[in-house]
Amino acid sequence: MSESDAVDPEEIETLPPTLGPSTVTPLGSSYLLEQVIGSGASGRVWQGKRRSDGRPVAVKVLRAEFSEDPIAVTRFLRQRTVLKGLDHPHLVPVMDVVAEGDVLAIVMDLVDGEDLRQVLNARTLRPDQHLAVLGQAAGALAAVHAADVTHRDIKPENILITRRGVEPHALLTDFGLAGIADAATLTRMSQVLGTPAYVAPEMVSGRPVGPPADVYAIGVTLYEALAGRRPFVASNHHALMRAHIEDEPERPASFSDDIWELVRSCLDKDPDARPTAGTVAERALELARQSSARPAPVPPPPPPEPVSEPEPVAVRRPTFEPSSARAPAEMTSEGVAQGAQETTGATRPAPQEPPPPTPQKKRRWLLVGAIAACALLGTGGGIWMQQSQDEAAPTVGPSTRPNASPHNYFLPVTATSVAPGTVQLKFSDGSALPGFSGYLIYRGPTFLRKTEPGAEPVAVVKLVEPSTRYCWTVAALLMTEHPPPLPKAKPSCLVANGRAQTS
């Protein structure tokens, strides 16, 4: 492949779900296809239903090249029983495998949720939750590998995220390449199938492909979820493939020794040196438990009346890299940046350098490489808040006065549920307040994220448990010596069922 080769996105990357034609298309005698909801390396995914009872289904219709290849068809039919027999709590069940005429299709449960790519873009999960959902996906992979099946297309788009209670629940999906692709088939088609950002070195170089290739892709996804960027990014597919074969990933400064050892081992160039999917699952879930067991920050309820400034206390910096409040730019699914080498898309820019330390008499903050928390006004003498692991504490810019300190100025807010599991917050514009540095979003006692100073006074929060009533508050973060008097702002409470308004 030359660097100038044109690549049809339909053949390589997974496209975001889009509505397809409104006409109903029959699939054999048992299913009706209603609309296209996704497209990827091995074919298109349709939303449809079963004729007999109207049950909603997702149908992966494979590309015509496979149905025209006798060996691919034979492998597909051989894998039919195996795919239908796969059973794991973190797998989307395969209901049926269809081979009629020139059509090969895999019928699966239709899952109501978001894929991991959407979740990474929305930044709604904590680092320990990223470890947990990818540990769950690795556990599902272990079950797939135990059935002597290699998935071959692990990536965020093929990991669906639903909710079981308040915690995210991962479901591995899309076995389009698992049942049909072998080295000989791919050679005849002159294709490297899979998504370029996640393909293992052995897939690029044409060597035998097995379960270690899936582990490599899980490693790329782990790196991306925890660091906010992928280990390898290039301006074209040729350079990206070469990076998978030749380049070593750079260790992010925020990775602990244990996390880096897990991710690095998954990304080993030697397939035999990578851990099994089962080992990855056990280690990722253990690291998630360790991370979530750390002392949680004291949450700030909105204060009804102004109170005096509390004495600061020492806190620990979150383990993981801070995320940026900037809206993410676009990144193609294969990992090629649009118009630049730098990582974009579902990424977090590198953290800013911390400001110079304050004089000794002011140094009551615990410094662990960067300022990690901010003081705020609270009820009954004040509350100290540590930023959650998803966000960096606000840093003091060069123009901030040396004696300025952070204050939370809670704003009137109205919450509405625009769809099941989704809440829209509209609040007063605080940009004219002294020392305005962005908005802080809270769900009950939990700090969710900070916006950039130029953000509009509106926020959308997804993946909210749709049957639980939550109260929402928004504060303007002010870096100033003289904060204004606090307004009497009340929380906005509702159930995120797609119909509820503020109560």
- Percent of the chain topping pLDDT 90: 34
pLDDT at residue 71 in the model = 76
- Annotated catalytic sites, by residue? 153
- Using the 8-state DSSP alphabet, how is residue 420 labeled? B
Q: Is pLDDT above 90 for 16?
A: no
Mark out the alpha helices in 51-199 (DSSP H runs).
64-67, 70-85, 116-122, 127-146, 183-189
- The predicted pLDDT at position 142 comes to 94
Domain 370-495, classified CATH 3.40.50.1970, yes or no: no
- Per-residue model confidence as pLDDT tens digits over 409-441: 899 999 999 888 888 999 999 999 998 988 988
- Region 9-292: CATH code: 1.10.510.10
Across 56-60, 223-227, 358-362, least confident range: 358-362
| Amino acid at residue number 237 | H
* pLDDT mean over 157-174: 89
The per-residue pLDDT for 294 is 55
Q: Greater confidence, 428 or 185?
A: 428
Mean of pLDDT over the chain? 74
- Residues 272-319 have pLDDT tens digits of 999 999 999 999 999 999 887 654 443 444 444 443 343 333 333 333
Residue type, 168: P
Pick from 337-346, 393-402, 415-424, 478-487 the range whose average pLDDT is largest.
415-424
- Predicted pLDDT at 12: 36
Q: What is the dihedral of CA 69, 72, 76, 78, to 10 degrees?
A: 120
Q: How confident is the model at residue 162, as a pLDDT?
A: 92
pLDDT for position 337? 41
Selection from 439, 440, 423, 419 nearest residue 431 by Cα? 439
Mean pLDDT over 36-41 rounds to: 78
pLDDT confidence of residue 240: 92
pLDDT in tens, 379-415: 333 333 333 333 333 333 334 455 667 788 899 999 9
Q: Where are the beta strands (DSSP E) in 173-266?
A: none
Q: Buried b vs exposed e over 360-379: b needs ≥16 C-beta within 10 Å? A: eeeeebeeeeebbbbbbbbe
Token pair, residue 40, equals 């990827």
Has residue 44 got a pLDDT over 90? no
With CA atoms as reference, report the closest residue to 41 among 72, 8, 11, 7: 11
pLDDT on residue 8: 38
Tell me if 60 is assigned to a ligand binding site.
yes
Q: Where are the domains of the chain?
A: 9-292, 370-495
